[in-house]
Amino acid sequence: MAANRNGPTPPENATLADVAEHVGVSARTVSRVVNNQGGCTAETRDRILAAIDELGYRPNLMARGLSKRRSDTIGLVSIAMLDPFFPEFADGVERAASDLGRTMFLASTGGDLVRQQSALKSMVGHGVEGAIVFPAAHTVGDLVDFAAKEMPIIIVNDDVQGVRISSVSAEIQAGAEMAVNHLLRGGRKRVAALLDRGARNAPRPARRELGYRNALEAEGLGPDQHLIIDVDNSLEGGRVGLDEALAQPNPPDALFAYNDLIAIGALQRALDRGISVPDDLAIVGFDDIEMCQAMTPMLTSVRVDRDQLGRVAVDMIRTLVEEGSVPSRRLPVELVVRASAP
């Protein structure tokens, strides 16, 4: 009678068969009710629902998944949850998924290929409908293969389209162009760019850099290589980047940053060094995280609707499941002008 070391064992969950027996129908009928498939009288339905309630029946999703060979779940594979881009995106994904009755798997890879693979394999094993992936560097090709062989994939912040794979991103290049244009129209002559070291190593051209160059060229300005600076994607990266920019013989009067984290780091260091922002140096960030509005001066940024991006990604997964392909999408961005670059 003594409880074992696991303490009181939780009661076994009621099964379809238990409910069926309790009501006096077949398990198949209970299943139909649980899945709202109709084909039974209102009275049977009510009796079954009552029994479900009474017995505390809860469907075994593993059994259902095994039988249907799919589990009504979607996977989200991030690179870094600490990146400020992530939470709002994940929130959009979660909401959209839960609106569809899907549960969400989450994994984080740290940008490591091996972890990305094992996360995806595990998700396949769990029967996810598809996965939304922030791809580790140089893995888009792998993902295309994986999608073709295994399951639908939506890639975030890149551009792909193929069998069971597509991508969602923001109009990053256009956003960068808008940002730099804004700086130039504000009379700035020397605009530095603080770009993410990791992203620049990617095979595909860095879209922020393209936008930056385009904007400069449109004004007849050739980019000064000394003003294009690779930094870590962090506050500290921004700080270091600012120092580096100002160490140039011909220092910049404006700064375009890869994202807000870098921009904020740069802004902080600038203030620290007694540089007046925006008078001496205008700064524009990217993504428009909430903290932009907490800075003094507030940070001008390119707004990316990350929540919407997440929702769209989920929607695209659905289409991918149903149609096998879906056009990749790019959501518009918006320049939010604040005091750091008025």
Partner DNA sequence: GCTAGTTACGTCAGCGCTGACGTCAGCGCT
Partner DNA sequence: AGCGCTGACGTCAGCGCTGACGTAACTAGC
Interaction residues for DNA, span 24-63 (CB under 7 A):
24-29, 31, 34-35, 38-41, 44, 57, 59-60, 63
| Per CB under 7 A, 201 contacts DNA | no
H/E stretch holding 240: helix 235-246
Q: Taking CB within 5 to 8 Å according to partner kind, which of a second copy, DNA, none is near residue 27?
A: DNA
Query: Residue 256 forms beta bridges with which residues?
Result: 193, 284
Q: Closest separation between CB of residue 70 and a second copy, Å?
A: 9
Q: Smaller CB distance to DNA: residue 71 or 167?
A: 71
> Terminus-to-terminus CA distance in the chain, angstroms?
75
| Per CB under 7 A, 293 contacts DNA | no
Q: Smaller CB distance to a second copy: residue 17 or 294?
A: 294
| Per CB under 7 A, 17 contacts DNA | yes
> Backbone phi, then psi, for 142, in 5-degree steps?
-55, -45
What the block records as the tokens of 267 is: 């802004």
Q: Closest separation between CB of residue 246 and a second copy, Å?
A: 17
Distance of CA 225 to the CA centre of its chain: 31
- The footprint of DNA on this chain (CB under 7 A) covers a number of residues equal to 29
Q: Closest separation between CB of residue 150 and a second copy, Å?
A: 6
Say if CB 147 and CB 167 are below 8 A apart: no
SS3 assignment, position 87: helix
Q: Taking CB within 5 to 8 Å according to partner kind, which of a second copy, DNA, none is near residue 126?
A: a second copy
Q: Would you tell me which residues interact with a second copy (CB under 8 A)?
A: 3, 5-8, 10-11, 13, 56, 58-63, 65-66, 71, 73, 76, 80-82, 86-88, 90-91, 94-95, 98, 103-108, 115, 118-119, 121-127, 148-151, 163-164, 235, 264-265, 268, 271-272, 290-291, 293-296, 322-325
Q: Taking CB within 5 to 8 Å according to partner kind, which of a second copy, DNA, none is near residue 250?
A: none
- Report CA-CA distances (Å) from 295 to 113, 245, 247, 291: 36, 21, 24, 7
Q: Taking CB within 5 to 8 Å according to partner kind, which of a second copy, DNA, none is near residue 41?
A: DNA
| Per CB under 7 A, 122 contacts DNA | no
SS3 assignment, position 210: helix
Residue of 207, 187, 208, 213 whose CA lies nearest to 282: 187
Crossing angle (nearest 10°) for helices 85-99 and 306-323: 50
Could you tell me whether strands 153-156 and 228-231 are parallel, antiparallel, or unpaired per DSSP bridges? unpaired
Residue of 300, 292, 319, 334 whose CA lies nearest to 170: 334
Binding region for DNA (CB under 7 A):
12-13, 15-17, 20, 24-29, 31, 34-35, 38-41, 44, 57, 59-60, 63-64, 66-69
